[in-house]
Amino acid sequence: MPEAPRHGTVRPGGRTARVREAVLKAVGDTLVEKGFDALDLAEIARVAGVGKTTVYRRWGTPGALAADLLDDMAAQSLPRARTGSVDADLRENARLVVRTLTDLRQVRLFKALIAASLCDEHAARALHGFYAVRIDEWAGCVSDAIERGELPRRTDPRRVVANVSAPLYYALLNTGERLDEAAADRAAAAALAAARAGVG
């Protein structure tokens, strides 16, 4: 089996950038409205207004389309909070997660991308990469707190940030518990308490 084209390897700019933008918008809209199973390369080309050959040559598979969308989302994601307090920073992180997971378009998109990651290795790697980018960005809040003496030196910043969002995604995908600001604050407080106790 031939290797699928590597997504994200074409330098953006000019027509290439416009084609990618149009294709990724079509991909995102399709995932939101119909899910990963409906991601058809020919239909994406039609909706995006680009040639089928371009889409097949550059992306090659639905998984590669989903993966490139995730790469684009990671590149455009918001920077972390810098409040000067680890308590406030982690609350901001948790509240951002909740805002994302309660936005109708975003939650449908994430569910479709998670579904894509379960059946396509390109999408799985990109999803892992997306979360790695977000965790690395917000880990700086914890690193700063360690330097300020707010947390033990042995604290793992990435683990603390992952511990903030984990119960929120669990509520979304498994229990259906209400996601609101109170849930965000509880998640942040639990992650911070674990870190202060030396288990974060």
User: What pLDDT is stored for residue 50 in this prediction?
Assistant: 96
pLDDT, residue 78, reads 86
Give the tens place of pLDDT for each residue, 26-39: 999 999 999 999 99
Q: What is the pTM of this model?
A: 0.84
Same domain, 89 and 20: no
Q: Report how far apart, in Å, the C-alpha atoms of 22 and of each of 17, 25, 36, 45, 93 are.
A: 9, 5, 18, 9, 30
Q: Cβ neighbours of residue 58 under 8 Å, at least 6 residues apart?
A: 5, 7, 10, 19
Tell me, yes or no, whether 70 lies in a domain. no
Domain that holds residue 164: 77-196
80-114 pLDDT, tens digit per residue, is 999 999 999 999 999 999 999 999 999 999 999 99
86 and 184 together in one domain: yes
